[in-house]
Structure 1
Amino acid sequence: MIEEIENAPAGVLGFRAVGEVTASDYETVLDPAIDRTLETHDRVNLVIVLGERFERYSLGAVWQDTLLSGKPHRVWGRCALVTGHSMIAEIIHSLAFLFPGDLRFFALGQEDAALAWAAGETAPDAS
């Protein structure tokens, strides 16, 4: 499931993956939040946390994730991935050149730094 991070700064969407993330999570939580943001902002700044309670992405969720890249390149601002899952970080890092926004990686425990960076408040501590 995808849970919204309630203390995200203005202009930043923050989400935490818990357990298994499915296509339904994208359709009911992530996609509508992105669409609502684009109604009032030119860009989406996003923080995704894959912490200790995250287990896996379903195949449908992986497909929904690829569909996000179908949004116009101009809508993606700063996107931060906070994770301690080295395999996931390595895979996403190797594909980062495909991502149209500014993508940074943060270690677990740096969620606040990731949120601040996505909001444009600080320089990145990690990459």
Structure 2
Amino acid sequence: MFEKMEINGGNVLGFRAIGTLTEADYREVVVPEMDRAIEKHGSIRLLVKIEDFQGWTPGGAWEDFKQFQNLKHIERMAVVGDENWEGWMSGLLKFFTVFTEAEIRFFKEERIGDAVAWVQQKPGPKAATAAPG
């Protein structure tokens, strides 16, 4: 499931990805929040915290893929997870740089404060990057 996180900053959205992600999670939580923020601000910044992530249902995977259309609106994205996710996320983050100019970084759980501070900062000049936090 996805849970919305409260993060200060007008165009900053935060979500916890917990357990198995379903189509309903995207339809009821992620998509409406992203659509509202994009409509209001034009561009958004995201923080996704991975907690006990178990994967996607087929419908959840499809909804995740459909969100690629919104990548052009993302300025920054911070992904937070434990050390088990660091290697896997590094590869995935590099994959995302093909589809977006957003700055994307992975942060270990103990650095969530750094992740929040980083995602709240205005990005620098446009250049696709995927770097550890």
TM-score, structure 2 normalization: 0.80
- State the distance in 1 between where 2:118 and 2:23 align: 28
- State the distance in 2 between where 1:111 and 1:18 align: 16
Secondary structure of the residue that 1:32 maps to in structure 2?
helix
Q: Which residue of 2 aligns with 1:102?
A: 103
Aligned-residue identity in percent? 28
Alignment of 1:1-127 (within 5 A): 1-6=1-6, 8-10=7-9, 11-51=11-51, 53-71=52-70, 73=72, 75-84=73-82, 85-86=85-86, 88-100=88-100, 101-120=102-121, 126-127=132-133
Q: CA deviation at 1:122?
A: 9.6
Secondary structure of the residue that 2:61 maps to in structure 1?
helix
Q: CA deviation at 1:39?
A: 2.1
Q: CA deviation at 1:112?
A: 1.8
TM-score, structure 1 normalization: 0.83
Cα shift readout 1:85-106 (whole Å, capped 9, x = no counterpart): 2454144134132231211111
Unaligned runs of at least 5 residues, structure 2: 125-130
Q: Relative to total residues, which structure has the larger helix share, 1 or 2?
A: 2
* Change over 3 Å in CA distance of 1:58–1:88 after alignment to 2: farther
Q: Is the 8 A contact 1:22 1:60 kept in 2?
A: yes
Cα shift readout 1:18-77 (whole Å, capped 9, x = no counterpart): 1111111011100000011012102110000112x322222322221121112362x111
* Change over 3 Å in CA distance of 1:114–1:72 after alignment to 2: closer
Unaligned runs of at least 5 residues, structure 1: none
How many aligned residue pairs are there?
A: 123
